Structure 1
Amino acid sequence: MKKLSISILALVFSVASLTAQEKKINTETSNITWKGYKVTGSHEGTLDFKDGSLVFKNDKLTAGEFVVDMTTLTVTDLEGGMKGKLEGHLKSDDFFSTEKNTTSKLVFTISKATGKNAYAAKGKLTIKGITKPVDFTISVYGSKATASLKIDRTDFDIKYKSGSFIENLGDKAIYDDFDLVVDLQF
C-alpha cells in the first residue's frame, strides 16, 4: 500500500509539472520603448502595458499575450511644447488614432528554442484594429524577459509622410519601420 501511495504521489507531481503555468507581467515595472526614424533624425518614447502574461511549460516559454495602453504614448527625447505637439500628433488619426483605438495587442507562440534562454516567436500584432503577423526573438532570464521588434507602420494603415506612398517628400519623409524594445518583469 505504501508503494502504491508513493507511485500515485509521483504521478500527480509528474502530471502537475507538465501543465502550463501562466505568469502575469507586472504592468508597473514592465515597459516598452519605441523609436521612430525620419530622414533628419529620430524620436523615441515609451508606452505602458495594460495587461499581459507569459505561459511556461516545464520552465520553457511557450506563449504570451500583451495588451498595450496606447493612450500612454509619450515622447522622451523632447521637452515642453515640442514634446506635447509630437505626442498629440502621434495620438491623432495621422498615426495611432488613440482616441478610437485605446489598446494594441500582441499574441504569440514559440516556434522553437534558439538558445538556452532565447526563443523564436511567431505572433499576431494588432494596431488600430488591424492584425498582422510578426516574428521576433524573446529572451527569458529569471523573472525577466526582453524582446525587440521591427514594425512596418504602413501595415497598420499609418502612411503619414511615408516615402512608400507619397513622392518627393525629401527631408520631410518618415521611415516606415519603427522599433519596439519590450522589457517584461513577471
Structure 2
Amino acid sequence: MKANLKSIALALVAFVTFSTTAQTTKKVNVEKSKLHWVGKKVTGQHEGTISLKEGAVVLKGKKLVGGNFTVDMTSINTTDLEGDWKAKLDGHLKAEDFFGVEKFPTSTLVFKKIADKGNGVYTVYADLTIKGITQPVNFDLTVNGNSATGKLVIDRTKFGIKYGSGSFFSGLGDKTIYDEFELDVTLSF
C-alpha cells in the first residue's frame, strides 16, 4: 500500500510540474492587433498602418518564451495623407525603391532569445526579414494577459532600402529621409 501511495504521489508531482511548465502557443488575432509606423524626414514625417498576416506567441505558464510573425507588406497604408498624395506615397513605399512588395509581399519576425526583465516586460532578440534580407533586432515587449505592446526602431538601410538616405547620398538637403523608422506594435492573442 505504501508503494502505491508513493507512486501516486510521484505521479501527481510529475503532473503538477509538467502542467506548470508546459508551453502553449497562442495565435495572434490579426484583426485586433495593430502595427503603426512612423517614417521621418528632414521636413517632417509620415505615418500609417500595416497588417499582420499571421503570428503567434509562445508562453510557458505566463512567461513569454517565443514568437513569430508574418507581416503583409502589401497592406502598407499612409494615414496622414489623402487623395493623390496618399496614393503616390503608398505606391512609392510599395515600389522597389522601398519595400518592393510585388517581389517581397511579406516580412517576418522570429524571436530567437528572450530576457525576462520582470513585471511582464521582456527584451526580445529576433531575426527580422525584409526584402529577403535577415538582420538581428532587439526591442522591449510588455505582455499583459492576452495582449502585448512594444516599439521597434528599424534601420531600413540594413535591408537594402537606401532611397533618400543621407548615409548613402550627398546633396539631398531637405529631401533627406532618415534611415530609421518606428513600428509601434499592439498584439491581441
TM-score, normalised by the number of residues in structure 1: 0.96
Partner of 1:184: 187
Letter in 2 for 1:99: E
Larger radius of gyration: 2
**Unpaired runs of 5+ in structure 1?**
none
Q: 8 Å contact 1:49–1:68 — kept in the other structure?
A: yes
Identical columns (%): 49
Other structure's SS at 1:114 match: strand
Other structure's SS at 2:16 match: helix
- Equivalent of 1:169 in 159, 172, 177: 172
Task: Please show how residues 57-96 of structure 1 align to structure 2 within 5 Å.
Answer: 57-96=60-99
Partner of 1:107: 110
- Equivalent of 2:129 in 126, 129, 135: 126
Which 4+ stretches in 1 moved above 4 angstroms?
none
1:155 aligns with 2:158: yes
Q: CA RMSD in A?
A: 1.2
Distance 1:58 1:184 in 2: 18
Length, aligned pairs only: 186
Task: Please show how residues 5-24 of structure 1 align to structure 2 within 5 Å.
Answer: 5-24=8-27
Letter in 1 for 2:53: K
Q: 8 Å contact 1:110–1:119 — kept in the other structure?
A: no
Partner of 1:39: 42
How far does residue 21 in structure 1 lie from its aligned partner after superposition? 1.1
Residues 58-113 of structure 1, C-alpha deviations (whole Å, 9 max, x = no match):
31101110000000110000111111110000000010000100000001134321
Letter in 1 for 2:64: L
How far does residue 12 in structure 1 lie from its aligned partner after superposition? 1.6
- Equivalent of 1:140 in 115, 138, 143: 143
Distance 1:78 1:54 in 2: 33
Q: 8 Å contact 2:64–2:114 — kept in the other structure?
A: no
How far does residue 5 in structure 1 lie from its aligned partner after superposition? 3.1
Distance 2:110 2:51 in 1: 16
How far does residue 3 in structure 1 lie from its aligned partner after superposition? 5.6
